[in-house]
Structure 1
Amino acid sequence: MSMFTLPVFLRRHVLFTLLNLAGLAVGIAAFLLVSLYVAEEGTVDRGFAHADRLYRVGSQLNVGGQSIKLTFSPDDLAESLRQEVPEVEAVTRVEQDRVMLGAATRYFEQRVLWADPDFLRLLDYPLERGDPALALARPDGVVVTRELARTLFGDADPMGRTIEVRHGPALTVTGVLAPLRQSHLVFTAIAAEAARGDKSWAHAKPRAWSDISGVTTYVRLAPGASAAAVGAALPAFVNRHNPPNPDKAGGGMDNMVSLRLDPVPDIYLRVKALGTVAGGDVGTLQVLGGVALLILGIAIANYTNMATAQAITRAREVGIRKLVGARRRQLVALFTGEAVLLAAIGTVAALALMELARPAFQGLVGRDVSLAPLPRGWLLPLLLATPVLVGVLGGFYPALVLSGYRPGEVLKGRAQAPGAGRVRAVLVVAQFAVSIALMVATFTVQRQVAHVQAAGLGYQPDSLYLISNLPVDLARAATLKAEVARLPGVRAASLSSLVPAAESESLSSFDLPENTRSTLRQARGIASFTADQDFFATYGARLVAGKGLPAGWKPAEVDEDKPRYLILTETAARRMGYAKPEDAVGERLSINSEDPTEVAGVVADMRFQSARRADLPLMFLIKASGEHLTVRLAAGDQRATMAAVNAVVDKPYPDAEYLRRAFADERIESLYQSERRQARVFAAFGGLAVALANMGLFGLTALTAARRTKEIGVRRVVGAKVPDIMGLMAWQFTRPVLLANLVAWPVAWWALHQWLLQFTVRVDQAPLTFLAAGAVALAVALVTVAVHVIRVASAPPVAALRYE
């Protein structure tokens, strides 16, 4: 009998069945899509052989309480580890680079890894063609992706063919990589490092370990070796090769350089350091996972609500089943089984919905997401368990309500569902509380991102056009800047080693003069960069102390090694022990040489990195060169001016193949990609939560309006108007929404307060944001209720009185 009950019930209650199915399908689809994405992110770099024993040896520079976390390590670290650390089973090095690769005079910019011969033995990226053990053993060997091979050689066999590196060596293809999965390393080719000849590591001059370039070292520990024990031994290991220098490190005996072991499977998601090319975001994963569970919970609550609301319509069926001998546990199993079957149908619908929603979801998370992994690993049990869990969670309570009817009361028409109304009210409050909290989060995150992009920068980012990666060449740089500054539509131009969102970082320590006005005798942890005399005017920085650089003065060639002037920020002046910015002006500091450099002025703090970091103490040495050109464009249509600037830049630098062009506000925006992604997640899932909550409200309103049809008819007969009935019914359903605000507001405030603490510049949690979210939820709920109430209340009273 039970196998035929659900189809009959489906046919009798088509509207509510479709609403239940739609809600469950949407909730399950969101949950499974997020689970798929989290699973893919969590498996990055875990497919390597012996992945649990693979580590990247990262470094950190420590100066005066400040530190810079690097992915790189000393150039000759690999050999020292191999000889002195017995727990290290194997070690290899790699250096990331951008080069122009070509064949038949056609060149394409590519990301290339220069690697040791045994690189593919440790990080065993799979090859379609070639032998991983031998591919990089050849001094000019290179393995390429299938896409790069097709770009360079078309459909021809790439094996053994020659690839030219512009201004570099010729390489021979010794392997073709299989399609690459997501990784912390991004590349299209891996080349034998020996191919660089005189520029290779074997020919490099020995350097101090504190002079770290771009080499990355990976190790594989021996079976049973303890990473913690190796990490504990690293400080002594470093001290043997790079003895501590108290003057540089900050006055103690700590080493300026420290090493750490980053587990390779953790790098992509959990390790953030200078030099990282690609990485995921744990915060976004946590937000996505939490919100997806909330969406699934709303869908389950919808089902529970409508199932309990419909229970009275099945009371007679329950009474008859009990009269013919059905026990309560059998009825609970029956109705829970119906819920599981409905959830199974919803899961099938969710799979189709996932495929439809996948492009939008990929845009939301910024990564390709395939449904192919669903039948594999732990995702398959999750897929199979979802309809059971959802069905039981959503159907068990309604099954208890249905099975609790007493046959006598049912047949007399007095069946009631004790407590079901209160449970429905609680679930409606919970649904709308989630929706309101997500809307508050959306508004607040968007406000915060907009705020930090403009507030507290210390300069005016509008119309600043940046060209980066210029070769450092004093003569060409001076000519370039002069020509750009003369162009129509250009208001100012400057050369510097620092621009917004630049990867470069610096830490300096130096002695202060004996007769200093500072309370200190040594400055430590000051970030030192170079800028020319027009930098502060170009950026619109505000001078707070001193007169600045002498009028008309320009840095000469001698200033490249012995700068005459420098400019400090307020934070730098405080860090150096000056009570007031004015006290720093005129001080003569020995920075890079015995010839002192004069502090010409102090400017307001300038933020070039994310607002998640405190204001850095910046010191600008005034020089005439720099790898970044900043151009302030005049307002209006700037396209012609940009084209003219680009043409001027390209002329003196025909060999500069990796120039990067962008506006300052675009680069600043890139610092907050994670926050913007979280805002999109909140907005998308918040809208989904509101839609699902109102879908449930729509069904509840329809049931309630149908049950009160006769009551409404009587009220109409005795003179009640449609607005009166509308007000009566609307109040019944808006009370839970109003109560949901009281639940959502404190929870949302606390969660957002914790989130905002990571920023040094942050918005206030304005009451208007909370009121706006509550008003939106209430307005949507009222419209949903009005659809049914107006239809029933507008019907002729005679028809309503005949309804029952």
Structure 2
Amino acid sequence: MIRTFFATLGRQLWRNRLFTLLNICGLSICICVAWIIFRMVIYENSFDKKVPDAQNIYQLIIRNKREDGNTGGFAAVSKPVLNTLLNDVSGAGLVVPMFYKQYNSVTIPGNNGTRKIEEKEDITQVTTLPAYFDMLNYKWLAGNKTTAFNHPDNVVLTEDKAKKYFPNLSPAAMVGKSLVYNDTLWRTVSGVVADLPYPNSFSGDNTEFMPVSREDLTDQDWESLNSSNLLFIKPAKQVDAKNILAQLNKINFQHNKESFEKYKYKNWYEALPLKEKHFAAQFGSQTRTADKKVLSDLMIVGGFLLLLACINYINLSTALLPKRAKEIGIRKTLGSSAKNLMVRFIAETFIVTTFAALLSFVLTFFAVKIFADFLPDGIFDYMNYPAMAGFMLLLILLISLLSGLYPAWISSRVDTVEVLKGKTEKVIGRNKITFRKSLIVFQFLIAQVFIIGAIIIGQQLQYMLHKDPGFNKEAVITFSIPYRLANKKEYKDKQFVLKNELLKNTEIKNVSLGDRPMEQMYVGNIYTYFNGKEEVNVQLQMKDVDTAFLHFYGITLLAGNNFKQTDTTTALVINEKAVHAFGFGSPREAIGKQLLVPGNGRSYPIVGVVKDFNQSGMRSDISPGVFVSDKERLRTFNIKLPDQPQHWEKAIRSVEKEWKRIYPEAPFTYTFYDETIGAFYKSEMRTQTLVRAATAMAILISCLGLFGLATLTAFQRTKEIGIRKVLGASILGIMRLLSKDFLVLVLISLMIAAPVGWWLMSKWLQDFVFRIDIKWWMFLFAGVMAVIIAAVTVSYQTIRAARANPVEALRTE
């Protein structure tokens, strides 16, 4: 019985294999998308779930409020907080510092010679306390947490890092081995721990652990905040974290009271629950975070695509009903009940959906390769098999019900007498076609919203990449002197030697030493101006540059002069924003005014004012800024290449040659500055790619649905077309007759999609200070695209129907 049931279902699917294939393809694409999104969601939500007693662990974060009422915050603590929590605050329980330090190289002494590892990215070390290993359940492969930090020069390695340093040794044999960081810092391996077997917001697999130094434990600088210094607490039993914070903030206020009053700001500490850390991007220092809003948006997009696929299945399935009318009529004559017919259709849908799910796994393999840059690292290493199996089964059942229920219900209402008379065109009435047309409108509504979004996102991205930032960034490469070399005596001031040698090179147009005009790193300080009545304190974004910098980047000097190169700072050049922030009436009025730097208590004159330029990308407004000149801090080279790109390679080779002569210990690595600026908009580029992919899928699925409706319409109007052709209608006229209804549907969907798309993209653009205006042609372009796509989709069926032999259409039944 069951065998016969599935055999007849298989024959039915094969007989209509074109429609079966279209349904499988449409569903498989959407199941693939849903599967990847589901894997992302469960992976991101799995972070820190397996940390023991995670609900009672908190990260301390800093909050601040300025005089103007603006508030902010980030993940950092001042180092004295550690000692305060250990000794002066009751109920703190476990106090776990994580002070990150970076090194450029590590040397591994050995009996067979010394091996040195130099990393392109810094080697990360975390200084902490034994309590760190009480908070996290590491498995010790060698050593133990009781003795691992007995000596201040000990180091504990994670398994991956240990294998990298000592590839041929067992964990036990590694204990006692020496490591030398940055050629001078000797450490002894005291333990090896297995990598944490679950996603977490703590140190990664390549991290190394050191005991907190005595200097860190006795530090008394309450004002210094560094995002490399993190601290976690696990309050003692029956102790509320708020009680610990109240004690800490009271001590913090006592130490910072003078600064709070003088500079009219205040800061305080709060506790961020560990369960929220992975989604707290603002406090995600040192570890990757996820955005809940992005995940929600992805789920919404996935849901819409699945809905489109279900609508597409409904359209294609009901399009086939007139062709299956006799089969349905005979089954009802032989005793099949409406319930049996509905079960049969839903079972058919289940089989199609199952095949689509199997195909989706193949598509997932290719999709993961294509969109690798958009997926979080480790997503496919995390396996939650019960959740994955449950999701796929639920997805198949849900799609089967949503897609199969309506066609099954329609099939159960077929009039057996009319069908057996041969009147198959009466299987579906006009009201059903109206319902199906509304589904087509909905499909193209979603597709056109995606098209509008893709157009506007693309235009905004092009605007950000090509808008004049206030400086000339073309044909520029940049590179920096490694920190470990800059601090060596033998390389002191070598950057100026290299600069002079490069200036002699006729293949290079210009050279400047200084921080890039626009970059992700932010260095700032509070400068004070006394206007005769009161002090005006302004946070200025600082850039260390040489005297060639302004000319090199074409930054316009509005008043005053460039400063002179000196060993230390003696003068300042500020931008227009700083002029307004200090209350100067004009750039010329600012010249000669003295600004006090609170950190060193010295005042410097303003000698020049430059035109505003963008320092932090198009999302942010231009900040008040200042140029200073201090030879000790000039470590970044800016090289202007020839105007002709064909000469760039030769010029870069000549730069590399000089670099290797002066800095033989370090490899020469450079970046084109326009690529550095492009990295500012990596998130927007990813969004653009994802929206384009979603647009392509929405259009494809909508076209499949439109194809099904065109097939149905051509079948139902066969005799009408035959009569029109006999009466002299042309093929072009028949095509126009059959196509116009579909084009009207597309235009209706555009009328609805335009305001929806405008509202959604207006909300998205609000995140950018510098943004485009939404123009009418964007909606027109989306509409034209949709019309062309719809016309191409229905053209096959309309041409086929228009060219059919009218004699065949007009045969008696």
> Is TM > 0.5 for Structure 1 vs Structure 2?
yes
Which of 601, 618, 622 is equivalent to 2:629?
Answer: 622
Counterpart in the other structure of 1:490: 508
Q: Distance in 2 between matches of 1:526 and 1:64?
A: 16
Which whole-Å deviations, capped at 9, do the CAs of 1:39-74 have from their partners, x for residues lacking one? 212223333222222222233565554666443311
- The offset of 1:736, in angstroms, is 1.4
The residue type equivalent to 2:250 in the other structure is A
The 3 A distance-change label for structure 1 pair 610 and 738 is same
Q: Is the 8 A contact 1:25 1:350 kept in 2?
A: yes
Counterpart in the other structure of 1:178: 195
Aligned to 1:245, the other structure's residue is in SS state helix
Q: Distance in 2 between matches of 1:629 and 1:60?
A: 36
Q: Distance in 2 between matches of 1:191 and 1:148?
A: 8
Q: Distance in 2 between matches of 1:607 and 1:679?
A: 23
- The answer to whether structure 1 residue 793 and structure 2 residue 766 are counterparts is no
Q: Is the 8 A contact 2:85 2:248 kept in 1?
A: no
Counterpart in the other structure of 2:551: 537
The residue type equivalent to 1:460 in the other structure is N
- The offset of 1:654, in angstroms, is 5.9
- The offset of 1:276, in angstroms, is 3.7
Q: Is the 8 A contact 2:329 2:415 kept in 1?
A: yes
Which whole-Å deviations, capped at 9, do the CAs of 1:438-474 have from their partners, x for residues lacking one? 1221222122122223325221222232223655677
Which of 231, 237, 240 is equivalent to 2:254?
Answer: 240
Q: Distance in 1 between matches of 2:554 and 2:807?
A: 77
| Further displaced range: 671-680 or 347-356 | 347-356
The residue type equivalent to 1:718 in the other structure is L
- The answer to whether structure 1 residue 292 and structure 2 residue 302 are counterparts is yes
Q: Distance in 1 between matches of 2:778 and 2:239?
A: 54
- The offset of 1:111, in angstroms, is 2.7
The 3 A distance-change label for structure 1 pair 415 and 645 is closer
Aligned to 2:93, the other structure's residue is in SS state strand
Which of 285, 289, 304 is equivalent to 1:279?
Answer: 289
Which of 45, 53, 56 is equivalent to 2:56?
Answer: 53
Aligned residues: 782
Counterpart in the other structure of 1:306: 316
The residue type equivalent to 1:790 in the other structure is I
Q: Distance in 1 between matches of 2:617 and 2:135?
A: 32
The 3 A distance-change label for structure 1 pair 431 and 151 is same
Which of 450, 459, 462 is equivalent to 1:438?
Answer: 450
Q: Is the 8 A contact 1:126 1:177 kept in 2?
A: yes
Q: Distance in 1 between matches of 2:662 and 2:73?
A: 35
Counterpart in the other structure of 1:210: 223
| Correspondences of 1:411-560 after superposition (within 5 Å) | 411-412=420-421, 413=423, 414-417=426-429, 419-455=431-467, 457-468=469-480, 471=483, 475-497=493-515, 499-514=517-532, 521-544=535-558, 546-549=559-562, 554-557=564-567, 560=568
Q: Distance in 1 between matches of 2:196 and 2:670?
A: 31
| Correspondences of 1:254-273 after superposition (within 5 Å) | 254-255=265-266, 257-273=267-283
The 3 A distance-change label for structure 1 pair 776 and 501 is same
| Further displaced range: 568-577 or 346-355 | 346-355
Counterpart in the other structure of 1:634: 642
The residue type equivalent to 2:83 in the other structure is E
The 3 A distance-change label for structure 1 pair 366 and 621 is same
Q: Distance in 2 between matches of 1:527 and 1:482?
A: 28
| Further displaced range: 676-685 or 320-329 | 320-329
Counterpart in the other structure of 2:85: 81
Which of 145, 156, 174 is equivalent to 2:169?
Answer: 156
Counterpart in the other structure of 1:704: 713
The residue type equivalent to 2:775 in the other structure is A
The residue type equivalent to 1:506 in the other structure is G
- The answer to whether structure 1 residue 347 and structure 2 residue 357 are counterparts is yes
The 3 A distance-change label for structure 1 pair 730 and 119 is farther
Q: Is the 8 A contact 1:135 1:175 kept in 2?
A: no
Structure 1: unaligned runs, 5 residues or longer: none
Counterpart in the other structure of 1:6: 9
Which whole-Å deviations, capped at 9, do the CAs of 1:353-395 have from their partners, x for residues lacking one? 323433223244364542863623x333221111111111122
| Further displaced range: 676-685 or 284-293 | 284-293
Q: Distance in 2 between matches of 1:405 and 1:692?
A: 28
- The offset of 1:686, in angstroms, is 1.0
The 3 A distance-change label for structure 1 pair 733 and 638 is same
Q: Distance in 2 between matches of 1:372 and 1:190?
A: 20
Q: Is the 8 A contact 2:94 2:131 kept in 1?
A: no
The residue type equivalent to 2:655 in the other structure is V
Counterpart in the other structure of 1:783: 792
Which of 682, 701, 708 is equivalent to 1:692?
Answer: 701
- The answer to whether structure 1 residue 91 and structure 2 residue 95 are counterparts is yes
Counterpart in the other structure of 1:23: 26
The residue type equivalent to 1:556 in the other structure is T
Aligned to 2:38, the other structure's residue is in SS state helix
Q: Is the 8 A contact 2:89 2:248 kept in 1?
A: no
Q: Distance in 2 between matches of 1:410 and 1:644?
A: 85
Q: Is the 8 A contact 1:509 1:523 kept in 2?
A: yes
Counterpart in the other structure of 1:734: 743
The 3 A distance-change label for structure 1 pair 215 and 731 is same
Q: Distance in 2 between matches of 1:341 and 1:14?
A: 13
Aligned to 1:142, the other structure's residue is in SS state strand
Q: Distance in 2 between matches of 1:135 and 1:315?
A: 81
- The offset of 1:587, in angstroms, is 1.7
The 3 A distance-change label for structure 1 pair 469 and 475 is closer
Q: Distance in 2 between matches of 1:477 and 1:353?
A: 52
The residue type equivalent to 1:504 in the other structure is Y
Q: Percent identity?
A: 23
- The offset of 1:105, in angstroms, is 2.4
Q: Is the 8 A contact 2:59 2:231 kept in 1?
A: yes
- The offset of 1:182, in angstroms, is 5.2
Aligned to 1:280, the other structure's residue is in SS state coil
- The offset of 1:293, in angstroms, is 1.3
- The offset of 1:242, in angstroms, is 3.0
Which whole-Å deviations, capped at 9, do the CAs of 1:452-509 have from their partners, x for residues lacking one? 2332522122223222365567734443433333333333333335542242331304
Which whole-Å deviations, capped at 9, do the CAs of 1:414-443 have from their partners, x for residues lacking one? 443452111111111111111121122122
Q: Is the 8 A contact 1:530 1:622 kept in 2?
A: yes
The 3 A distance-change label for structure 1 pair 660 and 389 is same
- The answer to whether structure 1 residue 112 and structure 2 residue 124 are counterparts is yes
Q: Distance in 2 between matches of 1:667 and 1:185?
A: 28
Q: Is the 8 A contact 1:63 1:524 kept in 2?
A: no
- The offset of 1:203, in angstroms, is 6.7
Aligned to 1:312, the other structure's residue is in SS state coil
Counterpart in the other structure of 1:610: 617
- The answer to whether structure 1 residue 362 and structure 2 residue 367 are counterparts is no
| Further displaced range: 471-480 or 113-122 | 471-480
Q: Is the 8 A contact 1:298 1:431 kept in 2?
A: yes
Q: CA RMSD in A?
A: 3.2
Q: Is the 8 A contact 1:112 1:187 kept in 2?
A: no
| Further displaced range: 433-442 or 11-20 | 11-20
The residue type equivalent to 1:105 in the other structure is R
Q: Distance in 1 between matches of 2:705 and 2:59?
A: 51
Q: Distance in 2 between matches of 1:202 and 1:757?
A: 46
Q: Distance in 1 between matches of 2:772 and 2:674?
A: 19
The residue type equivalent to 1:527 in the other structure is Q
- The offset of 1:700, in angstroms, is 2.7
| Correspondences of 1:368-407 after superposition (within 5 Å) | 369-370=379-380, 373=383, 375-376=385-386, 378-407=387-416
Which of 169, 175, 189 is equivalent to 2:186?
Answer: 169
- TM-score w.r.t. structure 1 length? 0.89
